[in-house]
Chains A and B, each alone.
Chain A
Amino acid sequence: MEKHLDRVMDEVVNKPGVFGCVFVNHQGLCLGAKGKASTESAGLIAAIAEQAAKLEPHSSAPIVTLETDNKTCIIQRAGTITGAIYKNRSS
């Protein structure tokens, strides 16, 4: 079961500019992390996605982008799973 998720995470991390990704279940527990991504942020990522979805309850799940000077974190919930992708901003 994890093999499939592992393969997906490998694919994501190998995309240009991406340096890490985390996947989280509906309880905020980490399903997997690759690259320079911390498993400790799993709960917060799920919380951010959940809170953002409350802004527009009748729309589909929003994509949340957190931007710093040189990095971007993109968070989206799909069903019970929330994914976060960390990217370098220059690319």
Chain B
Amino acid sequence: MVEEVKNNLQDLLSKVPGLYSVIITDRDGVHLLKVSTDKAPEHAMRPNFISTFGLAVDQGSKLGLGKTGTLICVYSQYQVIQMNKLPLIITFIASDSCNTGHILAIQKQLDPIVSSLALAVAES
């Protein structure tokens, strides 16, 4: 199953120009699945960076706008888009000029993958 999912994610990388990496992690940033091109910045894929999303979600909930769904950070060369699928986090790392809306639209495609992985994580 893992190979199949990895192939799916690899397909996404080739379909979205400028997308460098898709990482599915648990809430601590521990990698469950990772696909990336060689342009992906190593430091943005570290668990200690990815896990800060959990803190951002907690702070976001204080705004009174409901559950935090997506976090988009645009830097000078890269953009990092993280999606709240707790207990899982999906992280997309892309170039700053990459189509953000396209990445957001991918979310629905990933739902079946994420729900089956979330089940596996919840069981363990």
Interface residues of A (CB under 8 A from B): 24, 27-30, 40-44, 46-47, 50
Contacts of A24 in B (CB 8 A): 101
Is the pair B105, A27 in contact by a Cβ cutoff of 8 Å?
no
Q: How many residues of B contact A (CB 8 A)?
A: 11
Give bound CA distance, A41 to B101, whole Å.
8
Contacts of B16 in A (CB 8 A): 47
Taking the closest CB of chain B, its distance from the CB of A29, in whole angstroms, is 5
Interface residues of B (CB under 8 A from A): 16-17, 97, 99-105, 108
* Interface pairs (25), CB distance under 8 Å: A27-B97, A27-B99, A27-B100, A28-B100, A28-B101, A28-B102, A28-B104, A29-B100, A29-B101, A40-B104, A40-B108, A41-B105, A42-B105, A43-B102, A43-B104, A43-B105, A44-B101, A46-B101, A46-B102, A47-B16, A47-B99, A47-B101, A47-B102, A50-B17, A50-B99
Taking the closest CB of chain A, its distance from the CB of B123, in whole angstroms, is 32
B16, B101, B108 pick with most chain A CB within 10 angstroms: B101
Contacts of A29 in B (CB 8 A): 100-101
Taking the closest CB of chain B, its distance from the CB of A90, in whole angstroms, is 29
The 5 tightest CB contacts between A and B, nearest first, are: A43-B101, A28-B101, A43-B102, A28-B99, A43-B105
Taking the closest CB of chain A, its distance from the CB of B120, in whole angstroms, is 28
Taking the closest CB of chain B, its distance from the CB of A56, in whole angstroms, is 17
Give bound CA distance, A50 to B108, whole Å.
22
